[in-house]
A and B are shown apart, each in its own frame.
Chain A
Amino acid sequence: MSERFRIAIVGSGPGGMSAAAHAAELGVPHVLLEAQPHLSNTIYRYQKGKHVMSEPDALPLRSPLAFAAGTREKVLGDWSSGVTKVKTNVAHGHEVTAITKQPSGHFEIRCGNGRTLEAETVVMGIGLQGNIRKMGIPGEDLPFVQYTLDDPEEYEGETIVVVGAGDAAIENAVALAERNKVIVINRRDEFARAKEGNLQAIMKGIGDGRIECYFGSSPEVVEAVEAGPKPGRMALSTPNGKAEIALDRVIARLGATAPRAFVEACGVEFPNSDPACVPAISPKYESNVPGLYIVGALGGYPLIKQAMNQGYEVIEHILGRPVEPADEPLLRQKFGRMPGFTSVEAALAKVQTNVKLLSHITPLQLREFMLDSEVRTPRPGEAIFERNDYTDTFYSIVEGEAQVILEGDKRVTLGSGEFFGEMSLISGRRRSATILAGANCVLVETPRRSMNKLINSVEAVKRSIDAVFILRAIQSRFAPESSYAELAPIVDNATIEKFKAGEVLFREGEEGDCLHLVRVGSLTISRQIGGREVVLSYVAAGNYVGEMTMMGEGKRTATATAAIGSETVRVDAAAFKELMLRNPLLRLRIQSEYRQRAAANLALQNLPTGGDLISFLISQGAGEATDILLIDESLCVRCDNCEKACAETHGGTSRLDREAGPSFAEIHVPTSCRHCEHPHCMKDCPPDAIHRAPNGEVFIADNCIGCGNCKRNCPYGVIQMASKPPKKPGLLSWLLFGAGSGPGEAPHDDAADAGHSASAKKAVKCDMCKDLSGGPACVRACPTGAAVRISPEEFPAYAQSRR
């Protein structure tokens, strides 16, 4: 007769652990089944010293176990101590092999170690990690073969074979390559699954030969070698035959087998076959199998804190007590401002009914969405944002109305349910219009990050935003005076087209049947002159190209090329011409712009080098820049005062490297931030610490956790990891007596000498000295006026100034 528990918790991840602890707290008979000899294997397998985050910060923690952002070690320490404190009944080494619902309603749980036990309810918190995949070849368990890597610095001067092509494998390989000979074995021909940052890192490593990589190869056998320099060797099959590698160590990062099969075996159903999808569970976290609850990542809550709260809540549910979600108070507080607020439920409902855009998303997503967002109730006539602001949040109107003021003081009124701010969100450029709040207006302001998350995860949202974008883009750019109705024909057959960097929109001499309104990225306009392509101008997002065909001549007069990955709104020529007929104003406007452009192009044709200069700058990624530092090498006396100034005004580390970077026609593009329209560094910032200041500066806030993602993601290598330097002695004492370190020199760190480093490293990058009055220190500190910062719009003018 096997023992029986009220609750059996499978898996000691954050969710399961906190559930078990809560049960123990309440004195409910329970057992926590864990396969590993330690708790929370997933987090246990994090790299040593890895910083564990406590997102979402706003969410209160609801668990008998302590949890705060900190190092892996600290978090694990807190947990195990917490678990023992409440006398949780943990059974290590119990790998659950089967859970079967008995007719009598209770569950029978069979474990890998042969033990069987019974429970009335089962909480499954086994996460998505599943069990580590081994190589599945002879010798996969040899002592020098390992499946985790705690600290890459432990190894030096070794030959290490890294098997796998995932992010984990790549991160390990790159880290190890610093001190070791690293050989990566990739079953595929590319690193398909890797994050962009990691991809670039590994490709660079392979590029400069620090890392050797066997593509399309797979290991066949690993064996120990008694005699000889290396303890082992691996035989593998490569596209061009067998190969053998003498090695010190094998690190295999092959991910894990998803637990889906096991879960399904327990009778739980999955909504679809998408590997990413999770079983459908009730708001009480109960699966389709009554009495079988699912928490944590497997329950669709990937974040630690959420999972722990869930663990707590699930026990409450099982015990049949009502419990409101943890984020309730937060949401209540948010909605508190809303006029006529009754309950969170009601408010959420209202938002979802009023704002069509959000009607598609699940209550869970909505809650998360609202947690990130802010509810705003501006006074009538209050400006929500101004034209040319560099903010990028997204607004949905829940109630009341807002007024859009377009160019030429044309006003458009938006009613409840509509949204605005999508232009800057998409183009990454300044606000194209000023928005004034209307009468009793209630808005939901959503930060760029969460909005993009939503757009990318819910197709419907993307579609409706794009539709509105097209309409508004066309109206504001071409015909502010004409109504939506008039524009309908154009809008209907306008489409969004994507172009990769360097891809050609249309060629000189082609038949032109459309014009392109750039919505993301930028284009270069070039023309065949003397048998070579000469760039004539640069078209930034928000402008259009191809209008020349509209002006009589049917053929394209120049070639338009995407400077960077870009998106355009393709406007059909016929429809457009029609509009022009109906709207003489538009015709005049287009004509005047056309004339200006023609003139500018002509000017540039007369100095072909100027054109080359532009294309050079574009090739340096200036195309996606909003502001780029250029140095005239015929003026630069290499005094490095720019770097020193940067270092001195930014805690001792220079954010720019003057000498690095290419030059053309005596114009040097140093390694320094270009403040991209769509900053690569923002892509993957766990604490969302990277923001764009109202004047466009992209900067890293203090809540940076030093994960280094931005550094990896920046294609221009302008982000560094640096720790706060110690105080420097005054300038005079250096100037007169050479005391301490001079300007720009790394200050002498006593702490480092004493052995313990001063402070944790954080990511630092150019913030264009937004906090200094008087503009960027690098430019102001240049004695010879060699350094300037300009924005791509100025390139043509700049090129002409260089003749």
Chain B
Amino acid sequence: MHDSFLTFANKRYLWVAIVLLLGCLVAYIWHDPSPHPNGGTWLGYTLGTIGAVLIYWLTSLGLRKRAYSSNLGSLGGWLSAHVYLGTALLLVALLHSGFQFSWNVHTLAFVLMTLVILSGFVGVFTYLRYPALMTRNRENASRQSMLEEISSLDQQSLQLADGIDARLHAIVARSIDNTRFGGGVRGMLRTNDASEQALRQVREALEKREKAGQSAEPRTQEMPTMYAMVDFLAAKATDVQAETMRKLLDALSRKKSLATRVSRDIQLQSLMELWLYVHVPLTFALLAALTAHIIVVFFYW
């Protein structure tokens, strides 16, 4: 029922691409001009035209994608063709160039094209791999619902913390303030959230209380107040407080896991989108180079 863009219509466009490639290869081998194959021969011009048309057409996917009421085939088909013919383009262009490269605008166009296509391969890879990862990570919860649950958990833990001690409340409040999802490119590509810290501190506090009497382990200079608090709790946390603290611990851990999932979700999605931020700009560089290439070739004919 679901037809991935690679298998679209029994790989119709894979076959199209293969036929195209074979055609070009045969022509190229049979042609063999002197002194050596290049864009200047009739085959060169033919391949060049094919390549240029392909490139402009491939670029037009961006338009078709947004021409929602268009009936020019389904977008899935377009993407499928985009992928396969785009790959074929690599060889078409190589044959067009007759494997002549040097430091000039023509080679620049080729290099840009290659980069675009390679970034496209990355895209194909991510599109095949990441959706499944995201699904697994989300466990059937939508991101919004997770965020909502987190905020309710925040409220809950605040109340619990409040029930124990103002300073604990402060820690939790702070950890909530510091919990950030996404935010900035780096923020998205890394998975991090601050609930970890609070969790650790509370846990410590609890353990301290469990093995009360033992001396506090050497303190690092980071946030002495925290440790003061820990000591305080270790010292005179009543059973009730301890119980609440366990509850708090649960809430925080639950939040922690949720938070991790949300930020992982964001991370995965941004990783899945990242390649486009290379693919598209390069494409436009390519368009410029290609146009230059075509004009130049005839400018100095």
Query: What residues of chain A have their CB less than 8 Å away from a CB belonging to chain B?
Result: 630, 632-638, 641, 644-645, 648-649, 659-664, 666, 731-732, 735, 743, 772-774, 777, 779-786, 788, 790, 794, 797-798, 801-802
A641 touches B144 (CB 8 A): no
A786 touches B2 (CB 8 A): yes
A784 touches B66 (CB 8 A): no
A785 touches B2 (CB 8 A): yes
Q: Which of B130-138, B204-212, B245-253 contacts its partner? A: B130-138
Query: B79 on the interface (CB 8 Å rule)?
Result: yes
A635 touches B4 (CB 8 A): yes
A637 touches B127 (CB 8 A): yes
Chain B residues with Cβ under 8 A from A773's Cβ?
71
**Closest Cβ of chain B: how far from A205's Cβ, in Å?**
16
Bitwise interface map of B from 115 to 154 toward A, beta carbon under 8 Å scored 1, else 0: 0000000000001001110110010101110000000000
User: Which residue, A663, A664, A774, A780, has most C-beta atoms of chain B within 10 A?
Assistant: A780
B76 touches A782 (CB 8 A): yes
**Closest Cβ of chain A: how far from B74's Cβ, in Å?**
5
A647 nearest in chain B by CB position: B68
Interface size class of B (residues with CB under 8 A): 20 to 34
B66 touches A783 (CB 8 A): no
**Closest Cβ of chain A: how far from B73's Cβ, in Å?**
9
**Closest Cβ of chain A: how far from B68's Cβ, in Å?**
4
Chain B residues with Cβ under 8 A from A732's Cβ?
63
Q: What are 16 A-to-B residue pairs whose CB atoms are below 8 Å?
A: A633-B135, A634-B131, A638-B134, A638-B269, A638-B272, A648-B66, A649-B68, A666-B135, A777-B69, A780-B74, A781-B65, A782-B75, A783-B65, A783-B78, A783-B79, A798-B1
**Closest Cβ of chain B: how far from A444's Cβ, in Å?**
40
Query: B67 on the interface (CB 8 Å rule)?
Result: yes
A735 touches B75 (CB 8 A): no
B131 touches A648 (CB 8 A): no
Query: B62 on the interface (CB 8 Å rule)?
Result: yes
| Of A648, A662, A735, the contact of B69 (CB 8 Å cutoff) | A648
B269 nearest in chain A by CB position: A638
B135 touches A663 (CB 8 A): yes
| Of B75, B134, B138, the contact of A780 (CB 8 Å cutoff) | B75
Q: What's the Cα separation between A634 and B128 when bound, in Å?
A: 8
B2 touches A781 (CB 8 A): no
A637 touches B131 (CB 8 A): yes
A735 touches B62 (CB 8 A): yes
| Of B131, B143, B272, the contact of A635 (CB 8 Å cutoff) | B131
B1 touches A788 (CB 8 A): yes
**Closest Cβ of chain B: how far from A271's Cβ, in Å?**
55
**Closest Cβ of chain B: how far from A637's Cβ, in Å?**
5
| Of B5, B68, B144, the contact of A777 (CB 8 Å cutoff) | B68
Taking A633-B135, A638-B272, A782-B74 as known contacts, 9 extra A-B pairs with beta carbons closer than 8 A to each other, sorted by chain A number, are: A644-B68, A659-B142, A664-B140, A666-B135, A781-B68, A783-B65, A786-B2, A788-B2, A801-B1
Closest 7 CB pairs of A and B: A632-B2, A645-B68, A633-B135, A785-B76, A785-B3, A648-B68, A774-B71
Chain A residues with Cβ under 8 A from B140's Cβ?
662-664
Q: What's the Cα separation between A782 and B68 when bound, in Å?
A: 10
A649 touches B69 (CB 8 A): yes
**Closest Cβ of chain A: how far from B5's Cβ, in Å?**
5
**Closest Cβ of chain A: how far from B231's Cβ, in Å?**
38
Q: What's the Cα separation between A798 and B68 when bound, in Å?
A: 27
Chain A residues with Cβ under 8 A from B75's Cβ?
641, 780-783
Chain B residues with Cβ under 8 A from A774's Cβ?
71
A731 touches B66 (CB 8 A): yes
Chain A residues with Cβ under 8 A from B76's Cβ?
782-785
B5 touches A784 (CB 8 A): yes
Bitwise interface map of B from 53 to 95 toward A, beta carbon under 8 Å scored 1, else 0: 0000000001101111101001110110000000000000000
A631 nearest in chain B by CB position: B2
**Closest Cβ of chain A: how far from B3's Cβ, in Å?**
4
A634 touches B132 (CB 8 A): yes
**Closest Cβ of chain B: how far from A580's Cβ, in Å?**
37
Chain A residues with Cβ under 8 A from B5's Cβ?
783-785
Chain A residues with Cβ under 8 A from B4's Cβ?
635, 784-785
Query: B8 on the interface (CB 8 Å rule)?
Result: yes
Q: What's the Cα separation between A200 and B65 when bound, in Å?
A: 39
B66 touches A735 (CB 8 A): yes
| Of B78, B134, B135, B142, the contact of A660 (CB 8 Å cutoff) | B142
Q: What's the Cα separation between A438 and B163 when bound, in Å?
A: 83
**Closest Cβ of chain B: how far from A797's Cβ, in Å?**
8
B65 touches A641 (CB 8 A): yes
**Closest Cβ of chain B: how far from A104's Cβ, in Å?**
74
Q: What's the Cα separation between A802 and B1 when bound, in Å?
A: 8
A743 touches B127 (CB 8 A): no
Q: What's the Cα separation between A784 and B135 when bound, in Å?
A: 16
Q: What's the Cα separation between A650 and B143 when bound, in Å?
A: 26
Chain A residues with Cβ under 8 A from B127's Cβ?
637, 784
Chain A residues with Cβ under 8 A from B272's Cβ?
637-638
Chain A residues with Cβ under 8 A from B79's Cβ?
783-784
B69 touches A635 (CB 8 A): no
B9 nearest in chain A by CB position: A785
Q: What's the Cα separation between A634 and B75 when bound, in Å?
A: 18
